[in-house]
């Protein structure tokens, strides 16, 4: 089991090539722990297997606003609060547990995590998912790991900046070549033109929190 963020489809496909059966799921400490699991039918691809998946029995999900918004949950076993009244009231505002994750719900009821509210990049009047850009970056054969954060911009509000760790045995490439690689997906409709990072910064390693998640707060502070 792995965790900490949305499962990149490219990582899933690499695992499958190695003979590992992989599927996504979703949960938090507050949900004790799991609320959805990806169930994949024969012929369905990595995009379906990598999503947060279908709610398990007794779990209700919706987004606010509908379409693409914060993921809200209900289930009998979710935590009642944090021990601090203010935080507990915010957690359960309106009678739904607020996850602080931005999500979309597919036609079959399956959940796709788009980003954390604090990590989504607001640029040019659009919301850009850092997770989607990271997934594209790691598709490059020379990229081992990637993280994307928003950098303040007087004109656009924020602009995406990519941090990448290169593979030890992959092809050499420049920051501009990697930006062009991401930009090539704009014409395919996978991302908007606003999502192409303004800068790519190379790192020896990405900073981690105590639980192993990429520390985007430190990355933002480094800009």
Model confidence at 1: pLDDT above 70: no
* Lowest-pLDDT choice from 95-104, 155-164, 181-190: 181-190
| Predicted local distance difference test score (pLDDT) of residue 111 | 96
By the 8 A CB rule, do 95 and 80 touch?
Answer: no
Maximum C-alpha span of the chain = 53
Model confidence at 42: pLDDT above 80: no
By the 8 A CB rule, do 99 and 114 touch?
Answer: no
| Predicted local distance difference test score (pLDDT) of residue 2 | 62
42 phi and psi, to 5 degrees?
Answer: -55, 130
Model confidence at 21: pLDDT above 80: yes
Q: Residue 23 and residue 116: Cα distance in Å, rounded?
A: 20
pLDDT tens profile 90-130: 999 999 999 999 999 999 999 999 999 999 999 988 889 99
Q: Residue 182 and residue 180: Cα distance in Å, rounded?
A: 5
212-219-97 Cα angle (round to 5): 60
Q: For the chain, list the strands marked E by DSSP.
A: 25-27, 34-37, 54-55, 60-64, 68-74, 97-105, 111-116, 121-123, 126-128, 143-153, 157-166, 199-202
Structure tokens at 163: 């941090």
Model confidence at 4: pLDDT above 80: no
**What's the start-to-end Cα distance of the chain, in Å?**
33
Among 100, 23, 24, smallest CA distance to 63 is for 100
What does the mean pLDDT of the chain come to? 92
């Amino acid at each position: 089991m792995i965790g900490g963020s949305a499962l990149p489809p490219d990582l899933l496909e690499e695992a499958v090539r190695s003979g590992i059966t992989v599927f996504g799921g979703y949960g938090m400490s507050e949900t004790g722990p799991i609320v959805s699991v990806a169930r994949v039918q024969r012929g369905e691809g990595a995009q379906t297997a990598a999503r947060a998946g279908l709610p398990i029995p007794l779990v209700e999900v919706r987004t606010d606003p509908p379409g693409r918004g914060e993921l809200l949950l209900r289930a009998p076993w979710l935590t009642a609060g944090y021990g601090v009244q203010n935080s507990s009231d915010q957690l359960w505002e309106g009678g739904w547990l607020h996850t602080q994750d931005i999500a979309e719900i597919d036609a079959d009821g399956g959940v796709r995590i788009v980003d954390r509210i604090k990590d989504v990049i607001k640029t040019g009047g659009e919301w850009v998912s850092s997770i989607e850009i990271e997934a594209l970056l790691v598709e490059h054969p020379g990229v081992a790991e990637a993280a994307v954060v928003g950098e303040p911009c007087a004109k656009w509000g924020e602009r995406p900046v990519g941090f990448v760790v290169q593979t030890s045995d992959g092809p050499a490439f420049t920051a501009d070549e990697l930006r062009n690689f991401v930009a090539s997906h704009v014409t395919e409709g996978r991302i908007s033109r606003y999502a192409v990072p303004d800068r790519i910064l190379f790192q020896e390693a990405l900073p981690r929190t105590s639980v192993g998640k990429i520390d985007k707060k430190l990355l933002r502070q480094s800009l």
